[in-house]
Amino acid sequence: MAKVKYRQPRGNFFSVLASDGKFHQTVPVGTPGSVVRKYETSDGKTGEKNELVADSLEGIIDNISVFDGDFGKNILIAFKLEEGEEETDRVIVSLNVATNFGEQFLEKLPKINAEINVELKPYSFEDEKTGKPKRGITIFQNGEKLTSAYQDYDETKKEWKTKKGFPLPEGDTTKFDTDDWKAYFISRRKYLLKELEKHELYSTESYEVPATTPVSQSKEEDDIAF
């Protein structure tokens, strides 16, 4: 069974990533260890959900698929079952591709050893110097923090170096407007999804996702359902 690190002790659950940098799953009111989360969507709708919250997930990844929903593509990361477990026990992580969580996972995926345990630990905080939000997902394996397989920062030249044909912005970025940057990041996501299709863990068969499950948050929405 995949290991789930909760804020409160609790068993296994179907999980997703929320914008606070934690894993969430909607559960019935009264579920031991669950908490109430109030939310407001970008169109002003408010509500609350009863959820289990976990700081990280650890296990052996069984397969990775893509779910194309009403709010974009989501990566579904399914962990292996152990002997005696039912399919309903399977832990699945949903990451919205159009977020730092999804992009960073795809960038680090080639460095994951599919045969051994891997720990996924998302984060979300405000940078003290810039005041801007910092979001992403840290991946640990064999006690090491995995880095991007497609780009790294050259401290000497103070610039990013890319690998494997990873796309860079074209033209003078000082003149880029919002649409230019959106187009660039879309090209990055398309590239990473194409790379995913070449990976040994990629599966064309996706899982059915409960309609009550909140999706990995996009930059625009604070609470979305499949």
pLDDT of residue 176: 95
51 within some domain: yes
18 within some domain: yes
3-state secondary structure of 220: coil
3-state secondary structure of 175: helix
What is the 8-class DSSP label of residue 27?
Answer: -
- The full DSSP string for 22-37 is SEEEE--TT-TT-EEE
pLDDT tens digit sequence for 146-200: 999 999 888 888 788 888 889 988 899 999 999 999 999 999 999 999 999 999 9
- Enclosing H/E stretch for 196: helix 178-196
167 within some domain: no
| CA pair distance 186, 192, nearest whole angstrom | 10
b/e string for 194-223 if b means 16 or more Cβ within 10 A? ebbeeeeeeeeebbebeeebbbbbbeebbb
Report residue 177: phi and psi, to 5°.
-105, -175
Domain count within the chain: 1
Q: What is the mean pLDDT of residues 53-62?
A: 92
| CA pair distance 203, 56, nearest whole angstrom | 23
209 within some domain: no
| CA pair distance 25, 198, nearest whole angstrom | 30
Q: Residue type for 192, please? A: L
132 within some domain: yes
Name the pLDDT band for 209 (thresholds 50, 70, 90): low
**Structural domain boundaries enclosing 125:** 3-147
Q: What is the mean pLDDT of residues 200-219?
A: 67
pLDDT of residue 112: 97
Which residue carries 């397969």 as its tokens?
63
45 within some domain: yes
**186 and 54 in contact (C-beta within 8 Å)?**
no
| CA pair distance 94, 213, nearest whole angstrom | 10
101 within some domain: yes
169 within some domain: no
Q: What is the mean pLDDT of residues 106-119?
A: 97
